[in-house]
Amino acid sequence: MPSHEAPHAATGNDGSSSFLADKSAKVFLAGHKGMLGSAVHRRLTALGFTNVVGRSRAELDLTCEAAVRKFFDAERIRYVILAAGKVGGLHASSAAPVDFMTENLRITTNVLAAARLCGTVRKLLFLATSAVYPVDAPQPIPESTLLAGPPAPGNEWYAIPKIVGIKMCQAYRAELGMDAIVAAPNNLYGPREPFPSESSHVIPALIRRFHRAKAAGAPEVAVWGSGLQLREFTHADDAADTIVLLMDRYSGAEHINVGSGREVTVRELAEMVREVVGYQGRIVWDTSRPDGVMRRLLDSSKMRAMGWEPKVELRDGLKKLYEGYLRGSVVTNVESMNR
């Protein structure tokens, strides 16, 4: 993969050191073992940050208000990147809507409250999702369409807590002066331990399905839907670059879209994965299964205006994922900040 150059460090609007000039400060990376969180951790380490703090759920349950308050009071965190949350595919959130709603709401409210009350946090970034946008939003989707309509059916259990998170960051900024910012990525993919098969997102599901069919000599692989849906994928390493850039240069109230701007149909994606895996059989499209949202392309012009450009091409990213899958040391998953 191409190397990712560091963005130029700047001075904060209040004259304080910028994020990139404050590499010895404590950075709490919530969700540091997740797909995006681990990519951010790698990026911060490569940039020379020496005090990145991560906690597993066994060490710190972010849904427990008292535990989160105690952690922030003891650790004296200066920066927070909130990439933790309950994630999964459409099937997973539809099967457990209460868990998705309550866990994600509790994590957001607990971390925001503790970050403000501890008195040491200078800046917080909350990770939202492109699933927050209305199902009939104009394409590409600008940030201004938030709350112009309901999210897609089935996505609401995941999307609504993220909408609440966006508005809470705005409320904390407006009423309490907290520098709370929000990034809204589209479908992300990258190395991470897999979810159970029934809650997989499209890329890991296709990789596993084609690999198993190849190993078994199966003549065909069934894929849900028509394959005509358009999807925008962004590699976690590229998304991690945007997190660093936003932490360093952005202090606005409006959330910022993060998407590669490159669309493929699910058919094109499936063919790409089939070629990467080396499966010689045919693909059968199960049109009795739902397609989901037919298109969700983000308008990421504001992110690009800050100097960001995605570097990882989809085919190259898929090859790396499959190589990791074969090694077993890095198994793949997609954590959509969309579905």
37-41 CB contacts, 8 Å cutoff, 24+ apart: 37/81, 37/83, 37/84, 38/191, 38/192, 38/236, 39/190, 39/236, 39/237, 39/239, 39/240, 40/81, 40/83, 40/240, 40/243, 40/244
d(CA 129, CA 123) in angstroms, rounded, equals 20
Instruction: Answer yes or no: are the C-beta atoms of 272 and 315 closer than 8 Å.
Output: yes
Which member of 158, 189, 250, 325 is catalytic? Answer: 158
d(CA 80, CA 158) in angstroms, rounded, equals 22
167-176 CB contacts, 8 Å cutoff, 24+ apart: 168/108, 168/109, 168/112, 169/112, 169/124, 169/126, 169/255, 170/253, 172/112, 172/116, 173/253, 174/253, 176/116
Strand partners, 332: 191
**Which residues are CB-contacts of 139 (< 8 A; sequence separation ≥ 6)?**
295, 296, 297
Instruction: Answer yes or no: are the C-beta atoms of 179 and 250 closer than 8 Å.
Output: no
- The residue type of 241 is D
Instruction: Answer yes or no: are the C-beta atoms of 312 and 1 closer than 8 Å.
Output: yes
> Considering Cα of 308, then 311, then 314, then 318, what sign does the dihedral take?
negative
What are the structure tokens assigned to 225, written together? Answer: 């839907």
Active site residue 325: no
Active site residues: 158
